[in-house]
Structure 1
Amino acid sequence: MRPRLSPVRAHPGTPPVDDGELVTPDPAPEVLPLELGDAELREATGLQDGLAGSDFPAQDAADERAEEAAAAAAQDVDAAATRHWVSLPSLPASLAERPALRYAALGLGGFLALNVVLVGVKALRKALSPQQRRHRTVNKNQLVVTTLAQYLPSNRAGLAGSILGSLRFRTGFNNVEIFRKYLWYLLRERAFKQEAVDDLLALKAALQLTDSEVAAALRERAQRIYDKYGNVMLDTSGMTGAGIERKATSRALFSKLQYLTQVEGLLSPEAAKEVDLRKIFGATEDDVARLRIVSLQDVDLEALMEQSSAVEPKKEEPGAQL
């Protein structure tokens, strides 16, 4: 009887060779679980962890410490930013936790700041414009006239240093400028009588001006009159109506200034020479003699006022030319 042979297998997964008989494959051997003690289990676990780790445990520890330090620094920055935004009185605390709202608030704040700067620049340009400077000067001139009119001529004794000090502070004018501006108001607006001259003397005393300072004020006012109305001319034949009016104004103002340079108590003879009206107006000896006012009582005031009224080119606001 021929012996029974098992099929030859080239690989464990290769099916058996069928030689005409049904051959049942051998069952796989049963793998029993390996029971390890505590010592063996700890040893195996340590070996597995060592295999899973890096070959450089010191470098891994340094990297972990660096990551922990970076995370802590980031947390500190976030905490500081949160405290900053929460501490702002004009922003709600919720902005500290919402970056989008925070950036929107920053953009809005920058826009408002830019608008404030632009408005300030426009206001500064307007304040420094020639029209605004002239407007401020006119207002200051009017303040000088209205303030002094409360004391001249009705209350000359009340024109104390405190009143003038307040006037200097409010206008920025010095004593000579205040005297010169009131002088121009007196020459143009007030009747040229002894009362007006006495007010000028009282103002000089209240401002404590010297004769040289009064001479400087008269000389500067005379120069401004000449710049506006021209030199003194008695012969106006061939001139236009506007030219005749300008020369009449120049003659009337020249006569008043010349009289003031001869008032005792206002100017000394030496200080009067410093004014030198003849040189400023280009007047001759004959012009000076014919336009001299010897006395306010004897002067032909009607003729003088007629010249003054006939020569006003146009009505100007008070204080515009002080």
Structure 2
Amino acid sequence: MAYAGLTFVIAFVKTLRKSNSPKAKRHKLQIGFGMEEILRKYIRYAMNEKPFNPGMLADLIQLRKASMLNDAQVAKILNEISRQIVRDKGLVVMDISGYSEKGFKRKLAMHALFGKIFYLSELPEFCSRESSLIIKEIFGVTDEDAVTLLLLLKNDVSHG
């Protein structure tokens, strides 16, 4: 456990140094994307392609801090990502009985996506609660369902 913690701290420090180096700053200016676009694209990439674990969360938090965006901008990004997911995949449905295997898997994937976005939005290091986050409303999730999905996600992260 101590080894994992030490490895995490070393990786975090390396990431911090790399993202704030003069070379990284020049690169950010040359690529033509604004920090909002970069953060939005990376969050989408991380949610869909990377395992949801403490390392990925640390990367997202570090990128959020390096972006120097305020909480309102980050909340706007998370809300936009949520709207795009709902537009592409539909609302979160808690009763998944009666679906075909394909529909069942798609709804479970929606549960996971909601859980990840909601978990990220609840992290004080990522976005303050005072921001205008409306993640639950966008996904059509009640407070009780949000807590259930969040607990399932935390269980998966701690055992996976």
TM-score (normalizing by structure 1): 0.42
Pick from 95, 98, 110 the counterpart of residue 238 of structure 1: 98
Between 1 and 2, higher relative CO (CA 8 Å, sep ≥ 6) is seen in 2
Structure 1 segments of 4 or more deviating over 2 A? 152-156, 164-170, 293-296, 300-303
Partner of 1:285: 143
Q: Indicate the structure with greater helix content.
A: 2
C-alpha root-mean-square deviation of aligned residues, in Å? 2.4
1:300 aligns with 2:156: yes
1:166 aligns with 2:22: no
CA distance in 2, matches of 1:236, 1:295: 17
CA distance in 2, matches of 1:302, 1:197: 13
Partner of 1:275: 133
Q: Can you list the C-alpha shifts for 1:43-93, whole angstroms capped at 9, x where unaligned? A: xxxxxxxxxxxxxxxxxxxxxxxxxxxxxxxxxxxxxxxxxxxxxxxxxxx
CA distance in 2, matches of 1:270, 1:294: 25
Partner of 2:68: 208
1:258 aligns with 2:114: no
Which SS does the other structure have where 1:300 is aligned?
Answer: helix
Partner of 2:5: none
Contact 1:223 1:280 in 2 (8 A): yes
User: Deviation of residue 185 (structure 1)?
Assistant: 1.5
Partner of 2:48: 188
Kindly report which structure 2 residues correspond to 1:302-317, keeping only aligned pairs within 5 A, or say none.
none
Partner of 2:89: 229
CA distance in 2, matches of 1:229, 1:168: 34
Q: Can you list the C-alpha shifts for 1:165-197, whole angstroms capped at 9, x where unaligned? A: 423532x32111100111111112222122211
Contact 2:92 2:107 in 1 (8 A): yes
Unaligned runs of 5+ in 2: 1-10
CA distance in 1, matches of 2:25, 2:82: 24
Is the alpha carbon distance of 1:193 and 1:254 closer, same or farther for their aligned partners in structure 2, counting shifts above 3 Å?
same
CA distance in 1, matches of 2:100, 2:152: 31
Contact 1:229 1:249 in 2 (8 A): no
User: Deviation of residue 255 (structure 1)?
Assistant: 0.5
User: Deviation of residue 270 (structure 1)?
Assistant: 0.4
Q: Partner amino acid for 1:175?
A: M
Partner of 1:22: none
Partner of 1:112: none
CA distance in 1, matches of 2:26, 2:133: 27
Contact 2:79 2:135 in 1 (8 A): yes
Unaligned runs of 5+ in 1: 1-151, 306-322
TM-score (normalizing by structure 2): 0.80
User: Deviation of residue 281 (structure 1)?
Assistant: 0.8
CA distance in 2, matches of 1:245, 1:295: 16
Partner of 1:130: none
**Greater C-alpha radius of gyration:** 1
Query: Aligned residue pairs: how many?
Result: 148
CA distance in 2, matches of 1:185, 1:229: 16
Contact 2:115 2:149 in 1 (8 A): yes
Kindly report which structure 2 residues correspond to 1:45-194, keeping only aligned pairs within 5 A, or say none.
154-160=14-20, 162-170=23-31, 172-194=32-54
CA distance in 1, matches of 2:109, 2:25: 31
